[in-house]
Amino acid sequence: MVKPKTEEEIALMRENGILVSKTLAEVGKLVAPGVTTLELNRVAETFIRDHGAIPSFLGYEGFPAALCISVNDVVVHGFPSDYVLKEGDIVSVDCGTYYKGYNGDSAYTFPVGEVDAETRKLLDVTKDSLYRGIQAAVAGNRIGDIGHAVQSYAESFGFSVVRELEGHGIGKKMHENPGVPNYGRKGNGPQLVDGMTICIEPMINAGSKSVYLAKNGWAVHTADHKKSAHYELTVVVRKGQAEQLSTFDFIENNVKF
């Protein structure tokens, strides 16, 4: 049984949500051909610490960085590196904060310079599938309603949904129950309750849904090496309409993509 958060807890989680959202926007300002992914990580870690928070991914089960940075065929959990971003790449940036005893967690996939039309479509559809999922995250629905909304939308464009990874509850711990799969059947799974805080994070592949784990034990790649996109927001389940605790507004209102 998942305990809903109190309004006091939600207020602290909102502070985390704003901070991860602003951090992603800081990173987004730098994304361009010629920049290394380590540089993106450095800027994010500095920004998070300057706001009195802790980058929660750093050291999480041994993860070596503040951000997961996943380029092109890497679905999630890529390590920042000396890889130099180039025109036409896409880069998924996943960011977590720990502040005042609670967690924030969000991700955005940025195009690097101009991307081809199929790639632009993958980004748009993945982000829209997240919003479809959020629309389904209302009290009285079930977890399967979220997954169904994401999956049916993404697949209607011929894209595929990664099965091995999923969204999650969030609170004092970054990963809490329930799991939030990006596929599912309407009316299946745990019931959504007012005050439940969850991260919805579709990982959508341009090609097949198959993935494999890199030798480093972290980076998840598409098996066909086609591109994969990933967007994540933290929301509170409410009656009638979910409330977003994080937002892409800082990214999309400050930087033109």
Phi then psi dihedrals of residue 110, to 5 deg:
-100, 135
Q: How far is the CB of 109 from Mg ion (least distance, A)?
A: 12
- Comparing CB distances to Mg ion, the nearer of 31 and 66 is 66
The Cα-based distances of 182 to 54, 68, 165, 251 in angstroms read 28, 19, 8, 24
- Comparing CB distances to Mg ion, the nearer of 64 and 208 is 64
- Comparing CB distances to Mg ion, the nearer of 169 and 189 is 169
Q: Which of 183, 175, 71 is nearest to 119 (CA)?
A: 71
The Cα-based distances of 82 to 37, 69, 70 in angstroms read 6, 12, 13
The residue written with tokens 């992603």 in the block is 24
**Residues in a beta bridge with 119:** none
- The residues of the shown chain that bind Mg ion, judged by CB under 5 A, are 94, 105, 107, 199, 232
- Comparing CB distances to Mg ion, the nearer of 222 and 246 is 246
Q: How far is the CB of 117 from Mg ion (least distance, A)?
A: 27
Q: How far is 252 from 155, CA to CA, in rounded Å?
A: 25
Q: How far is the CB of 169 from Mg ion (least distance, A)?
A: 10
Q: How far is the CB of 158 from Mg ion (least distance, A)?
A: 26
